């Protein structure tokens, strides 16, 4: 009887109909029987004993969630089942067994997460993430569930939701516990939103009996993507995986096709490819087919920038680019890269002389420079455009400079993953896009210079700035001042992450935070920032760019992160319904 607790006399309970006893258990007398359930509504914690019980259905009076009082099962998918307790009568007294059957919490939360994804239920997703994290389930396992769902439940293929989820998974080391939960929840919620109302993705399958080599598959794949044949391309990708082609070769095949045309879909196509390959590194081998196959539909309607007027007039950029590609065609990656003047190349990329810039890139590559390092300089130039973005520009132009930066970052990361020579073309694409964005720096905002403050700056103070609209320059100046006073960039990136995750952020804001933080880290690698003025300048650029971009898109209604906070508070038993409006 150790776990049994008295609920009172049977007679008094029959008269009261509903009562709360020790342990927060609601006891009900209904249709001649006694029932005991957890008195906290599993939806948002409202006391169930204040609800109504009719025909065996217990209804919560806050959001009208309905439960079978006998089994605890819910009729509403957005509410969890309520735990039930065993009861017995002895000598006119009712006893309730406080011990409930212990189920596998980890498996339960995983199942609930899948239901939340299938039904696109934000609170269910959030509560599942909180439960899984507190059950010590590794974040990678949670991410895999989202990747598997997103690549198999969206016929249109890889989308913004999976990109956000992968970006947030990359950002987890930058965040504290609350930030990590918000990052996972928001990434998974975006995946669910992308898949809502979409037909599932059914793989076509590999070519049966294929006995050719990798080069043949690569040729076929490029031919299919050239004519926008996504189904043919999918079968070739699946054949490549089935035949055991190494991931690096598959990446080479797909990235070559992704750069056969210029800056496709404003850089999104290559950016999505990069994120998909990052996701493949996180996921199981069994998910690679669905991940890689999710990329082939992107070619169907992708815009090819060489067909756009802006790439052909008033300056014809297409012809000199094609000539440059012929010069560097199949140029091997240098085994021992030759250093080059990085500052000089940065200035050329940011100039208004595109033909000179194209020639400079070509000579730099021909002289044996590292394509990875050149791509890093282009990414820095793209971030500089955001730092110098004038707030008198049209608001939507923020997305233009963002596209260039995230594309340049994707090129940089992709070149670090594979040494496919054809991918060097994407460095040119990104550099030309930096040139085309020059008008967004006319007039140019003055780059903020760090100044000494009377009081020490605390990273969390940045959030107060973003409580007011259009504090773009103020946010950039604050970031510069902070870097002037403090070296605690870990705290700063955690705060920038919270600045992102406390808003109803759009797709591009997630991209901005992840790309800036990653580029910051890459400038820190191998002791590069130690005594290197360009590296220090680059790191400052990434932080100021992120601060300005996030400030431009804040504040919002903040409804999405509020759901994540509710899930956290419910998990720890807080009574949301008792709050008073201030």
Q: Which of the four pLDDT bands, split at 50, 70 and 90, describes residue 88?
A: very high
Question: What does residue 69 show for φ and ψ, rounded to 5 degrees?
Answer: -65, -20
466 and 554 in contact (C-beta within 8 Å)? yes
Q: How far apart are the first and last CA of the chain?
A: 46
> What is the structure's pLDDT at 532?
80
Q: Is the Cβ–Cβ distance between 445 and 388 less than 8 Å?
A: yes
DSSP secondary structure code for residue 180 in this structure = H
| Residues of the chain above pLDDT 70, percent | 97
Does pLDDT of 47 surpass 50? yes
Classify residue 157 as left (phi > 0), alpha (psi -120 to 50) or beta.
left
What span, in angstroms and rounded, lies between the C-alpha atoms of 175 and 387? 24
Neighbours of 310 (CB within 10 A): 12
What is the model's pLDDT at position 531? 63
Could you tell me if 237 and 224 are in contact, meaning their C-beta atoms sit under 8 angstroms apart? no
Q: Does the structure show a pLDDT above 70 at 200?
A: yes
User: What is the rounded distance in angstroms from the CA atom of residue 123 to the CA atom of residue 129?
Assistant: 10
What's phi and psi for 300, nearest 5 deg?
-60, -45
Nearest to 357 by CA among 421, 427, 292, 410: 427
Mean pLDDT of the 211-239 span? 96
Q: Which two tokens stand for residue 558?
A: 């903040």
d(CA 164, CA 334): 34
Instruction: Name the token pair of 106.
Output: 């980890």
Instruction: Note the pTM of the prediction, 2 decimals.
Output: 0.92
- Domain covering 4-97, topology: Rieske Iron-sulfur Protein (2.102.10)
Residue listed under structure tokens 């919490």:
105
Query: Could you tell me which of 241, 246, 244 has the C-alpha nearest to residue 295?
Result: 241
Spell out the SS3 assignment of 334-382: CCCCCCCCHHHHHHHHCCCCHHHHHHHHHHHHHCCCCHHHHHHHHHHHH
> Side by side, which strands form the sheet with 52-54?
52-54, 57-59, 66-68
Q: Are 259 and 302 in contact (CB under 8 A)?
A: no
- The pLDDT-based confidence of 581 (bands split at 50, 70, 90) is very low
Question: How would you list the strands of the sheet with 4-9, edge to edge?
Answer: 4-9, 93-97, 87-90
For 518-571, the pLDDT digits (tens) are: 999 999 975 455 568 999 999 999 999 999 999 999 999 999 999 999 999 988
Q: How many angstroms separate the CA atoms of 132 and 116, rounded?
A: 14
Distance CA 84, CA 38 (A): 6
Q: 194, 222, 170, 415: which is closest to 294 by C-alpha?
A: 194
Mean pLDDT of 352-377: 97
Over residues 489-496, the mean pLDDT reads 96
pLDDT band at 212 (very low <50, low <70, confident <90, very high): confident
Half-sphere exposure of 210 (CA within 13 A, CB side): 22
Q: What is the pLDDT of residues 48-68, one digit of tens each?
A: 999 999 999 999 999 999 999
Q: What is the mean pLDDT of residues 176-204?
A: 97
Strand partners, 53: 58
Mean of pLDDT over the chain: 94
């Amino acid at each position: 009887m150790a776990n049994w607790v008295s609920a009172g006399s049977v007679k008094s309970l029959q008269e009261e109909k509903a009562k709360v006893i020790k342990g927060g258990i609601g006891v009900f007398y209904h249709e001649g029987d006694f029932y005991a359930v957890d008195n906290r509504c599993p939806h948002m914690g409202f006391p169930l004993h204040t609800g109504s019980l009719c025909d065996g259905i217990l209804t919560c009076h806050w959001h009208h969630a309905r439960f079978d009082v006998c089994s605890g099962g819910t009729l509403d998918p957005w509410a969890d089942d309520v735990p039930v307790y065993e009861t017995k009568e002895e000598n006119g007294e009712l006893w309730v067994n406080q011990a409930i059957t212990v189920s596998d919490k980890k498996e339960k939360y995983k199942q609930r997460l899948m239901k939340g994804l299938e039904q696109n239920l934000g609170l269910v997703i959030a509560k599942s993430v909180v439960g899984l994290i507190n059950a010590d389930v590794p974040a990678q396992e949670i991410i895999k569930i989202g990747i598997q769902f997103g690549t198999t439940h969206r016929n249109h293929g890889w989308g913004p939701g999976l990109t956000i989820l992968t970006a947030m998974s990359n950002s987890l080391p930058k965040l504290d516990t609350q930030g990590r939960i918000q990052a996972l929840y928001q990434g998974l919620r975006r995946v669910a939103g992308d898949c809502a109302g979409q037909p599932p993705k059914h793989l076509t399958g590999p070519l049966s009996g294929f006995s050719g080599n990798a080069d043949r598959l690569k040729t076929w794949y490029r031919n299919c993507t050239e004519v926008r044949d996504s189904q043919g391309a999918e079968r070739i990708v699946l054949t490549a995986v089935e035949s055991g082609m190494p991931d690096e070769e598959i990446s080479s095949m797909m990235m070559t096709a992704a750069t056969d045309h210029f800056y496709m879909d404003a850089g999104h196509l290559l950016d999505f490819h990069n994120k998909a390959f990052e996701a493949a590194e996180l996921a199981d081998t069994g998910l690679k087919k669905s991940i890689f196959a999710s990329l082939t539909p992107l070619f169907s309607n992708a815009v090819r920038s060489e067909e756009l007027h802006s790439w052909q007039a008033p300056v014809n950029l297409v012809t000199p680019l094609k000539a440059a590609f012929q010069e560097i065609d199949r140029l091997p990656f240098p085994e021992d890269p030759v250093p080059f003047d990085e500052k000089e190349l940065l200035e050329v990329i940011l100039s208004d002389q595109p033909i000179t810039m194209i020639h400079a890139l070509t000579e730099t590559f021909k002289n044996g420079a590292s394509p990875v390092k050149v791509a890093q300089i282009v990414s820095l130039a793209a971030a500089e455009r955001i730092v110098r973005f004038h707030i008198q520009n049209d608001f939507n132009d923020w997305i233009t400079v963002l596209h260039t930066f995230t594309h340049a970052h994707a090129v940089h990361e992709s070149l670090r993953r594979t040494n496919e020579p054809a991918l060097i073309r994407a460095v040119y694409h990104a550099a030309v896009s930096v040139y085309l964005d020059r008008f967004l720096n006319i007039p140019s905002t003055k780059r903020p210079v760090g100044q000494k403050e009377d009081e020490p700056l605390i990273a969390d103070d940045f959030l107060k700035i973003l409580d007011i609209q259009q504090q773009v320059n103020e946010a950039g100046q604050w970031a510069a001042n902070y870097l002037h006073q403090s070296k605690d960039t870990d705290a700063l990136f955690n705060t920038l992450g919270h600045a992102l995750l406390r808003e109803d952020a759009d797709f591009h804001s997630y991209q901005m935070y992840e790309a800036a933080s990653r580029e910051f880290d890459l400038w820190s690698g191998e002791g590069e920032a130690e005594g290197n003025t360009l590296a220090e300048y680059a790191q400052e650029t990434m932080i100021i760019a992120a601060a300005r971009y996030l400030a431009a898109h804040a504040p919002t209604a903040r409804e999405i992160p509020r759901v994540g906070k509710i899930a956290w508070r419910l998990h720890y038993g807080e009574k949301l319904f008792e709050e008073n409006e201030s």
